[in-house]
Amino acid sequence: MNVSDLYSHIVVSNSGNRFYRFSNADGKTWIIPARNMRIAMNLYQPSGRNGKLVKALFPWLYGIPFVWRVIHAEKLHYKLRDELKQLLCRLFHEEEIEFSLFGGTPCVHQKVTIQISKGCHILGYCKVSGSNEIAELFQNEADLLELLKKQNMDGVPQCLYCGKMAEGFSLFVQTTAKTQQSKVLHEWGILHEHFLDKLQRKTIQSITFEKSDYYKTLQGLQSHLDWLPEFMNRNVIEKTMNKIVNPYKGKIVDFSAYHADFTPWNMFVEKNRLFVFDWEYARTTYPPMLDRYHFFTQTAIFEKHWQEKEIIAFLQSPDANWVNREIYTLYLLDIISRFTVREKGTVEGDIAQSMKIWNDLLIYLNK
């Protein structure tokens, strides 16, 4: 089910309130209401200068036709479909709600995200997909959040609903602590460190290496090495995997939960506390602190727009004294494995560019 089909299950077109639909150069699309637009625009998290200008100014200038034509926005009318609206109103204990939509990142796991709000308050989020594979990810997130709740882990959402609607599409609904005053931190700091330290303490367990989620991920790649893109160095990947994995085999390891997409766009700070969401790719038994290496690598690629040369130059500088080459290698093997299996050998665009960088970093770290 593509995004257009999902929209038809979520909203009724040409009815209801006024919205503006706009897209960026990466093919991502947002549908934002005119009413309480500043709150609705919290769903829009641009990293580029132009996008930040749109977020800051459009809520004040959207009434000027010239402005929305400049950003190629369309003026449309939508309302939530009755069954979905009734469910969301019941979950959030409200008689009326407002909403905005994000069409997701174009990829095999693309989904629609709905921000639910009322007046100046953000109530929560609802993720929607027609894919059985993504439905499994939603259930994984629900199970992981329940585990964290039992461990008294704060700074994470509460799952309110995970299931299917009558039409066959899947929903994941969660709470949020986000407000208009919430901030996004794009540089690593003490709040990130404290969060991951606490996540490790709350979820650490002793387990045989072969029973760990990390080992299972690497085994997924071992079973599908033919899915590695041609530009990846299969020989280095196999050799590094054996060098890293063999010493762990048969051993008891102390592994803990791994978010797997610990990036600025999946977190915010509210009242000096870090809140982290989007746990759908998370696992429970991984080497501790791999999330820091993901944060570093993904912000280097997508926010600083570094290539492998700039990242390697950083790794050779005094600022990289926190980097452990073995742990970074463990991280790179994981992300190469997950994306290779997820994309089933067909990679393009940002994913292809990222995989080239991961490949070159793995080669550099294991010379």
* 266-285: pLDDT as tens digits: 999 999 999 999 999 999 99
Give the burial string for 182-217 (b: 16+ CB within 10 Å, else e): beeeeeeeebbeebbebbbebbeeebebeebbbbeb
**Alpha-carbon span 15 to 223, nearest angstrom:** 50
Q: Compute the residue count for the chain.
A: 367
Q: How many CB atoms lie within 10 A of CB 62?
A: 18
**Alpha-carbon span 139 to 24, nearest angstrom:** 30
Tokens of 141: 């997130």
**Alpha-carbon span 148 to 145, nearest angstrom:** 5
pLDDT at res. 279: 98
Residue type, 323: V
**pLDDT tens column, 302-318:** 999 999 999 999 999 99
DSSP E strand stretches across 165-213: 170-175, 205-208
pLDDT at res. 68: 72
Instruction: Answer whether 174's CB lies under 8 Å from 157's CB.
Output: yes
Q: Where are the domains of the chain?
A: 3-175, 190-365
pLDDT at res. 104: 79
pLDDT at res. 278: 96
CATH architecture of 190-365: Alpha-Beta Complex (3.90)
State the pLDDT confidence band at 159, using cuts at 50, 70 and 90: very high
Instruction: Answer whether 46's CB lies under 8 Å from 55's CB.
Output: yes
| Rounded (5°) CA angle 99-104-227 | 160
**pLDDT tens column, 34-80:** 899 899 889 887 767 777 777 777 778 777 777 777 777 888 999 99
Give the burial string for 287-307 (b: 16+ CB within 10 Å, else e): bbbbbbbbbbbbbbbbeeebe
pLDDT at 336 over 90: yes
